[in-house]
Amino acid sequence: MSETAAVGSFEAEALPHLDTLYRVALRLTNEPAAADDLVQDTMLRAIRAWKSFQPGSNARAWLVTILRNQFISGWRSRKRAPQAVDMDAIPEPPDTADPDPEGRFFAEIVDEEVLAAINDLPDEFREVVVLSDLEELPYADIAAALDIPVGTVKSRLFRARRILQGRLRRYAEETGIIPPRGEDV
């Protein structure tokens, strides 16, 4: 393939995924300017590695892998230390005695609080939530991007959701959206 054809195929395959890359970068860095830089670094790294891309394979997953590796090597070290997670503070799923067993309170929580909860997740949990629940990547693509087994993706996702649900539930209780569990309605 000529260099011109290679650039053309890169642009055709990679540029449509800029939206996904930007959103993932934004959630990983939590800073728009840093997300810009991370996306640019990713695309430069990607075009230089384009010869190693298998035509017909999943360009989005390939790009997310590069972005995530760039984040780990160049960005994560600048961030805060990983958050400690108190698994004992994570509530059990609702039961039929719950004041809001169908989770209607989630819809009442403001975007800022949801984003803050996602941003406060430890990196290993945040990245699976972003890739699965926000970007809707298949488990296999997430596993490839993070270089972990599909089973680990599922288990991290399960824990990440519980952590988020716990935090959002506490917020809903503290702000009076729902009464605390065990309290008469």
Q: How far is the CB of 27 from other proteins (least distance, A)?
A: 10
d(CA 51, CA 122): 34
- Our finding on whether 23 is near other proteins (CB under 8 A) is yes
Of 34, 85, 129, 145, which one interacts with other proteins (CB under 8 A)? 129
Is residue 182 within the footprint of other proteins (CB under 8 A)? no
Contact 10, 46 (CB under 8 A): yes
43 makes contact with other proteins (CB under 8 A):
yes
Which residue's CB is nearer to other proteins, number 81 or number 104?
104
Interaction between residue 103 and other proteins (CB under 8 A): yes
Q: Closer to other proteins by CB, 98 or 123: give it.
A: 98
Q: Judge residue 52's burial from the number of C-beta atoms within 10 Å of its C-beta, 0-12 exposed, 13-18 middle, 19 or more buried.
A: exposed
CA angle 63, 56, 134 (to 5 degrees): 40
Nearer to other proteins, 28 or 157 (CB): 157
Sketch the per residue contact string, 59 through 98, with other proteins: x for CB under 8 A, - otherwise.
----------------------------------xxxx-x
Handedness of CA 145, 148, 154, 155 (dihedral sign): negative
Between helices 111-119 and 150-174, what is the axis angle to 10°?
130
Side-chain half-sphere CA neighbours of 23 within 13 A? 14
Q: Are 158 and 67 in contact (CB under 8 A)?
A: no
Residue numbers of the site for other proteins (CB under 8 A)?
A: 7, 10-11, 15, 18-19, 21-23, 26, 36, 39-40, 43-44, 47-48, 93-96, 98, 101-104, 106-107, 109, 111, 114-115, 118, 129, 133-134, 138, 154, 157, 161, 164-165, 168
